[in-house]
A = this chain, B = another copy of it.
C-alpha cells in the first residue's frame, strides 16, 4: 500500500515506522521541515510533502495524526490533492464533531481512535510497536470496504479494533479519559491551596507513587485537555455531574463517621476497577 501520515509526532511517527516495517511505502507531512528531515534520515518515512501542495497519486490511505484541533483544517487542505479512492482517517480522541466535519469534507473519511501513546511527544519519542495489544475505536463508515481496510490497517500494527458510533465513543472516553484529566488536574490545584508553607513542602517531599499516579494526567498537556473538554463538552459535563454526586456522598460518609458505609463504598470502587482490568487492556499494577 501507499500510505500518507500527516503529523510526525509520537503517534504519527511510530505508526509510519511500523507501516514501513510491514512493507508499505509511507510518505509524511509535518509543519516543521526539520521533523521531515529527521523522519527521512531515521527511516520513519520514504518521502515527505507539504500540506496544500500536490501529493502522491494512488495513495491508499492517509492518516491524520496532528493535534486534535488541526485535524479538520489539515483535511480541508488535503482534499483537493487526493485521488477519489483514497481513504482518510484520523487519530483524534473525540469522534462526533470530527467524523461529522470530516465526512462533509471527504466522502471516504472514517474516524479512528487508537488508544496508544505515552507522556512523550515529538519525532524524538517515536517507538516501534507502540500500538501492539492496544485498543482502537473505529466509527463505522457506510461503505463496508472502507471499514475492512481501516480495521485491517490498525490490526496490522497489533491493535484490537472496536466498532462504535461516535456518540457512544465520546461518552465512553468522557468517563475513562476526559473525566480523569479534570479529576486529576483538580487534585494538583487543590494541593496548591495548602496555606502552611511547611506542610506544603512536607507534602512535596512525602508524595509517593500514589500521588504521582493520581496527579499524572491532570499534569499533562493543557492544550490537549482544553481541546478534549471543548470538543466533548456535553458528555464531559454529564460525567462530571455524576462524579461530583459520588464525591459528595463519599465526603458525607466521612463527615458522618459512617465508617462501615465508607468501607462498603471503597469495596465497590475496588470491584469496579477490577472490572476494567479484567475486561479491558489495562495491565494490573
Interface string of A41-67 (1 = CB under 8 A from B): 000000000000000000000000000
Residues of B within 8 A of A169 (CB): 202
Contact B212 A282 (CB under 8 A): yes
Interface of chain A residues 105 through 164 with chain B (CB within 8 A): 113, 115-116, 118-119, 134-135, 137, 160, 162, 164
Give the most central of A168, A247, A267: most B CB within 10 Å.
A247
Known contacts A135-B206, A247-B244, A263-B225; decide if A216 and B214 are in contact (CB<8 Å): yes
Of all chain B residues, which has the CB nearest A211? B176
Contact A185 B276 (CB under 8 A): no
Contact A233 B257 (CB under 8 A): yes
- Chain B: minimal CB distance from A138 (Å): 11
Tallying the copies of this chain within the complex gives 2
Contact B265 A208 (CB under 8 A): no
Contact B272 A208 (CB under 8 A): no
Residues of B within 8 A of A193 (CB): 242, 246
Band of interface residues on A: 35 or more
Contact B272 A191 (CB under 8 A): yes
Looking at A32-40, A78-86, A248-256, the stretch in contact with chain B turns out to be A248-256
Of all chain B residues, which has the CB nearest A165? B198
Contact B213 A217 (CB under 8 A): yes
Interface of chain A residues 233 through 285 with chain B (CB within 8 A): 233, 236-237, 239-240, 242-248, 250-251, 254-255, 257, 259, 262-270, 272-277, 279-283, 285
Interface string of A163-191 (1 = CB under 8 A from B): 01000110111011101111111111111
Of all chain B residues, which has the CB nearest A173? B206
Contact A243 B187 (CB under 8 A): yes
Contact B199 A171 (CB under 8 A): yes
Residue A226 CB within 8 A of the other chain: yes
Contact B205 A135 (CB under 8 A): yes
Contact A206 B137 (CB under 8 A): yes
Known contacts A162-B202, A187-B180, A246-B189; decide if A212 and B269 are in contact (CB<8 Å): no
Known contacts A206-B162, A265-B185; decide if A180 and B247 are in contact (CB<8 Å): no
Contact A218 B263 (CB under 8 A): no
Residues of B within 8 A of A268 (CB): 188-189, 192
CB-CB nearest 5 A-B residue pairs: A219-B273, A222-B266, A204-B279, A185-B269, A180-B214
